[in-house]
Amino acid sequence: MTRHVTSERDLRSLERRSMYSIFAPLDANERLPRELILESRRHKTLGRRELAGALWLPALFLIVALVAWARVNALAAFSLIALLYAGFWAFVLLGERKSK
């Protein structure tokens, strides 16, 4: 019976026989969990939160333009902006409650 001499190169390698006795080789066709998570994020549809985030800035610019055009006082402008902000939060939060 021949004895296998282990060299330093074999000890650093992950291809040694003892590694396969401890860990099973990975299946090349099986998807990893992180890949599945990334794939689900990529195919995510546009939700209420993303829609509210996309519409917030154009709505704010529209309010500022209307306030400048109508020459409304600052208190009314800030209250209109606060109402818009609260409306978008209500839109997001009420939509999440219905989906659950």
Encoded tokens for 33: 């969990």
**pLDDT tens readout for residues 51-82:** 888 999 999 999 999 999 999 899 999 999 99
CB of 57 closer than 8 Å to CB of 44: no
CA-to-CA separations, 5 to 15, 35, 62, 74, in angstroms, rounded: 15, 40, 78, 85
Report the alpha-carbon distance of residue 71 to residue 21 in Å, rounded.
79
| Distance from C-alpha of 7 to C-alpha of 16, rounded to nearest angstrom | 11
Which amino acid does the sequence have at 57? L
**pLDDT grade for 10, boundaries at 50, 70 and 90:** low
The domains of the chain are located at 8-99
At 22-61, the pLDDT tens digits run 777 777 777 667 777 777 666 667 788 888 889 999 999 9
pLDDT of res. 42: 64
The answer to whether residues 39 and 79 touch, using CB atoms and an 8 Å cutoff, is no
Helices 74-99 and 48-70, axial angle in degrees (round to 10):
160
